[in-house]
Structure formats: structure tokens, C-alpha cells
Structure 1
Amino acid sequence: MVEAVLIDLFSLPANLQNNIQELLHNTLEAIEKCSSIHAPCVYVMCCQRQGSERKGDQEFLLPALRSFQSLKRKLEVVCAQTTAAALYAIKQRLDEKDLSIIKVILPTLRKDLMKVYIDHLFTAVYQFEFEDLQVVSDCENLQISEHQHEGQTLPSQDVALIRSEIQMYLESLPSLKGELTILRSSLIPGDIFLHGFTTRTGGISYIPTLSSCNLFSSSKRRDPQVVVKENLRRLANAAGFNPEAFHRVKVDHANAVCIMGKTEPNNYDGIVTNQKGVTLAAPGADCIPVLFADPVRRACGAAHSGWKGTLLGVSMATVNAMVSEYGCNVKDILVVLGPSVGPCCYKLPHESAKEFHRIDPKCVRLFDSASPYIDIRRATRILLERGGLLPENIQDDSITDQNQNITLCTACHPDKFYSHFRDGTNFGTQIGFISIKD
């Protein structure tokens, strides 16, 4: 069942401008007849003339809107100066109401164009169907001429213009939830490495569980890639790295490691490099983003360590890659564990807890319960120390100085961090990042 209807009157052909009221009236009448029981939300998208005192076509459209009582509460005119701005405003309204099934009624000439905008601004969470804007009139000149055939792709320069319009609009949006904040470790030398762990502030993501500096997009979440890219651009500006030389692990919850410059695996949870100016990153939204730095051999790495990756030894696998590829000495490598779910909040089924108990009984609290509390940070430290790393070269939540401890519990700090454990499936993601300075 259609949950929302979008009527695109943004760029009507010139021969329809004078009959916009009749056009809208006929379209709304058809919607009202078809949905008398469950009236969908209706959004009318139109152009706001630059420099105009009135809101574009909104006042001009009012006479056509007044007679539709059943749609009245669910009908809204959205005016903006660009299609990107209007469509993004409508997306916000859809997300506020948790609506996903949308019918788009628009002139045939706008269909391929609109599909490009939708591909960039929406994810697979949403379902769209398209319907031609029907014109009922005695005047022959009201018929919309069809110069494009269904399915014809837009020229690449038109797609590039749309991307540019979307990017410019997103760049103009204010940051949400305060300034962008980066947590840094005192263990990693700042004269050699650029590094940090992000928090959830300073981006443009507006959905509550993703707000505001979400740094991961997937087909199951409502934040599109273009929004994540804008959040990353803002982070790069604040941190001082090049977003075009940014490499994030391709999470598999295992222990494969990618060596920058060599063949890239399909999936990997660790990544290492000795190239200057290349930023490596690992995500975390309860799982640990782990950063590695060797100031002697000038190499670095990042790893994503959830409970599965921890058991599989992804952190030590990343260390071993630095040793074998760049000649690092284990005793020179510095490791920092970023914000992640703590043993205060994280539970696993008893069978999985047994594996952590084998590493060290102190990694499990209430071991005899059905769902014991697990300390994946302690397990990571123990495995690294067994691999030869010096205890003083590992920074985690065992640091007692609160000014130095950046391994905070993500689930316990909703104002600072995202948490899958706390927020459910539509959760946001923060990252740990590191690069070798030029």
C-alpha cells in the first residue's frame, strides 16, 4: 500500500504553467478517489523563485488544495530553489513519519531526471513507483510532448550536474548537535601520525539514531551515501586529511588484513600501510576501532574488532602484517582501542562466552548466567600482550586517568557515540582513523 505520494510540479513545461491549478486539482481528485479509506501523505514539490517574496507557487496553488478535505491534514506543499533541496526536504518528512513506499507522479520528461536524484538521495529502504502526470483538458496544447522514451538514460554530463547540485546543497546545510569532535590518544606521536576517533556530533545526518556525523551507509539504513560522504568531507576538513585518499576496512567480522598497494581482498577487518598521506579507517558502533602505529618504521594500521574478530585475533593479525610487510618490531608498535561497548553493557550467549572465558576468566562477568557480560577490550589486550606487545604500548579502558581514557562505552554515552546494541538496526557508525603525515 502506498504510504506517500509525491507530485512533482517543480519544472513543468511552459505550456502547462497557466493551468497548474487545474492540473493539481485533477491529480488530487484521482488520489482522493483511490484512497478514501487510508489517505496517504501527499507532498507537492514546486519551485521557489529566487528573490521572490512569496513561497514560489505555494500561494498560487492554494485554490486547488482547499477542496480536498480528506487529504487536508496529510497534504503539504514543499517549495525550494533546486530539485535537490525540495526532494531532501520531502525525504526528511518521510523519515519523520517512517514512510517507505512512495508513488511519484510527474511529467514524463522529468522521470529519468528524478530517478537520478532518488538514486543519490535515498537507499534501498525506500520503494518508489512512478506514474505520469495526467492532464485532463479540452486544450490540445496541454498535452505533454514526449521527447524521451521510457528507460532512456540521461547524458553523463546531466548526471554530473545533478551530483554537483546535490553536493552543493548538502555542503550548505548547518552541522547538527554541535561542533565536530575528534578524540585523540596521547600514546600516538602527533609529529609523525594524524589520527583520531570520531564522535556523533558535527555532521548533517538528521535521523535520530544516525544523527549527526554518521560515517557509514548501507542498503538497510536511511542515510544515503551522499550524506555520509558530506559527513566525511567535514571530518577530513577538521582533522586535516584528504578524503580522496581514504580507505575503510570492508567489514567481515573475521581476521583478514589488506596490505595497501597489494591486491585488495573482497572483505577484510584489518588494513596497513607505510604510504604517507593515506588515511586508514575502521568503523565501530560497539565493535572496537583499533589503531596501530609504529613510529620507528613509520607504518600504521586500523582494525575493526567485534566479538568474532576478537576471538579470531584480528588485532594480532594486523600487527603481524606490519611486521612481515614493513619490518616492524612488535615492541615498537603502539595500539589504541577506541570507543566500544564495555563489559558494563555487552552480553553474549553462554556458548560464545565460553570462548572468552578460555582466553581469561576475567574477560567474562556472571559466567554461570545464560547471557554473561563480556569484556572484548580486555580480551584484545591479553591477545596482543601474548603476541609480544608491551603492556605500556596498549591504550584501552584500563587507563585510570579520565583525561587519557578514550576507550569509552558506546552504549553508555548516547550523546557522544552510536551503538548498535542500544539503537537497534538503524544505527549510526563512528570510526577510528590514522595516517602517516607527509
Structure 2
Amino acid sequence: MIEVKANSTLYLKYTNLSQYKHLIQFVSTRKGGVSNDPGKGLNVGFHIHDAPENVIKNREILATALGISPQSFCFLHQVHSSKVALVSTKDRGRGTTTYEDSIADTDALVTNMQGICLNVLSADCVGILFYDPVKKAIGAAHSGWKGTVKKIAAQTIQCMHEQFGSEPKDILVGLGAGISPEVYEVGEVVVEAVQAAFGTTDGMISHHTMTGKAHFDLWAAIKCTLTEAGVPADNIECDQLCTYRHPELFFSYRRDQGKTGRFVSGIMLQEE
């Protein structure tokens, strides 16, 4: 990934998507911003204990760093589902200034419209960005353990195929920062869900050498889902940045025991 500094803010860009100059794509960090604890820095989530005016200001700061209008943003009310929503011009700006106006009960968005920035929030879950350079279509998905075993990444690709004629072999994907398997201890419910979803836990569930506890590799499971759906492995970028181990960059729900902010992964088409 590529680091981009803009005044006091820092955001990341995917290398595989950066060749497309008409594409805005990013993963924000907590650098900059006006929020205090528990989401100190650039918290962009309304649904934590932060003043709404701070969140709005942080979103404005991020938009300025990206060189776009905050009214380009489109946000979700994420519920760890496999639901994908088709976004049109009427959805531009939804959820930008109020949580209640977010697209309800959805965890992924797709569009082929210019000027709409599809956003997903994270604080350990993996944000996934999709781009089809052939059909000029984009997607964004939020994938925690529940979304991962529900294969929301594949659902997003299927929606892009149905709506825009996208072929999986053409789609480029960026897997964002998330909690790494080294620190992501899970219980039997998750292990059983992985087995049920994939028919195996190989390469996805490991056991800690000292504690014997199960650990889940979200990135490996999502990559498995993507390749099963027909996305070439070479089309997937994943730098495996751990939210838990980088408190200077990312909010982490587990590290901060639920009292933390949110960062955002976003993607937007512009005029070529």
C-alpha cells in the first residue's frame, strides 16, 4: 500500500488500484482529526461515544485530504450481514451528517455511477474494495468473521456481475487493515462456522502454540472466497496490516475493549 500525507492526516492507497487516475480509493487512519477518547484522532463513526460535530468535522477533513466533497460519501448501517445494496445518484451523501440517514442493514455497496464514494467502517473487521476496469464498476464491503463466513466478498462480486456484467477475472480487489490471526483468538462457534462455510479450516484456523486456543485468519478466508468466486490471486492486494498491533494508525475494537473509533475504506469513480 502507498502512504499519502495531507496536512495532519495520513491515509493509505492500494498499489494495484493506483494506476487508475479516475479512481479515488483509500483506507483512512486515525492520524489527524479532532476527536478525543475513546476515538481519539480521525474517528469517522457516529455510533460510538463521540460528539456528532466531531465526526462531521473529521469526515470533512478526510474529504479535503482526498480532494472530494464530503457530500460524495455514502455510508451504511452495518450489521454483519451478507446484504449488498446497489447505489444510485439518490444515495449520494447518505449517512454523511447523520447516522440515521445511512443505508440500513447492509454491509456492501456497488455502483457504476461517478461521484459517489462507497464507504465501509472498520475497527478490526476487514474493509474490501472492488474495481472492474472493464465495466467501470466499483464495490465496497465490510467483512468481520460473520460476513466472512457468509462470503460477503462473493456476494459483492455476484451483484457486480448481475448489475453491470462484471466478470470475476477482471475485478481487482484490495483487502484492508484488520485484526491479524496472531492476535485474533476465537471460540468454537467461529471454528464451526468456518468449517461449515468452507468445508475445511485449513489455512484459516490455527492454534496458538502456548495456549492451544483457535485463531482465525480473516484475510486468508476472504482470499479463499474471492478465488473460489473466480478472482485471480494476482488481482488481490493484501498487505496484512494489523489493527490490533498498530494503535498509532488504527482503531481496534478488541484491543480497546469495545471503546474505540472507526476508520473507513472508500472508493469512488470520477470522470476520466
Does TM-score exceed 0.5, indicating one fold? Answer: yes
Aligned residue in 2 for 1:222 = 49
Q: Give the one of 34, 49, 53 matched to 1:204.
A: 34
Q: CA deviation at 1:211?
A: 1.1
1:156-305 correspondence runs (5 A) = 179-188=8-17, 189-207=19-37, 209-218=38-47, 221-261=48-88, 266-305=104-143
Using the aligned pairs only, state the percent identity.
Answer: 29
Q: CA deviation at 1:425?
A: 2.2
CA distance in 2, matches of 1:289, 1:249: 13
CA distance in 1, matches of 2:24, 2:80: 26
Amino acid at match of 2:8: E
**Higher helix proportion:** 1
CA distance in 2, matches of 1:348, 1:375: 10
| Alignment of 1:366 onto 2:207 | yes
Q: CA deviation at 1:222?
A: 2.3
CA distance in 2, matches of 1:254, 1:183: 26
Say if 1:181 and 1:378 are closer, same or farther in 2 by CA, change over 3 A. Answer: same
TM-score, reference length from structure 1: 0.55
Q: CA deviation at 1:426?
A: 1.8
Q: Is the 8 A contact 1:217 1:225 kept in 2?
A: yes
CA distance in 1, matches of 2:206, 2:40: 32
Q: 5+ unaligned residues in a row in structure 1: which ranges?
A: 1-177, 397-404
Q: Is the 8 A contact 2:123 2:263 kept in 1?
A: yes
Q: Is the 8 A contact 1:255 1:312 kept in 2?
A: yes
What secondary structure does 1:384 align onto? Answer: helix
Aligned residue in 1 for 2:247 = 414
Amino acid at match of 1:282: V
What secondary structure does 1:296 align onto? Answer: coil
CA distance in 1, matches of 2:189, 2:24: 40
With 300-309 and 349-358 compared, the bigger mean Cα shift is at: 349-358
Aligned residue in 1 for 2:225 = 383
**Higher strand proportion:** 2
CA distance in 2, matches of 1:308, 1:281: 19
Q: 5+ unaligned residues in a row in structure 2: which ranges?
A: 1-6, 92-101
Count of aligned residue pairs for this structure pair: 249
Q: Deviations over 1:147-193 (max 9, x none)?
A: xxxxxxxxxxxxxxxxxxxxxxxxxxxxxxx8200100111133131
What secondary structure does 1:434 align onto? Answer: strand
Q: CA deviation at 1:237?
A: 0.4
TM-score, reference length from structure 2: 0.87
RMSD over equivalenced CA pairs, Å? 1.9
Structure of greater relative contact order (alpha carbons < 8 Å, 6+ residues apart): 2
What secondary structure does 1:204 align onto? Answer: coil
CA distance in 1, matches of 2:149, 2:13: 26
Q: CA deviation at 1:249?
A: 2.4
Q: Deviations over 1:264-323 (max 9, x none)?
A: 963110000101011001111000011001111111010000000000011111111111
With 252-261 and 239-248 compared, the bigger mean Cα shift is at: 239-248
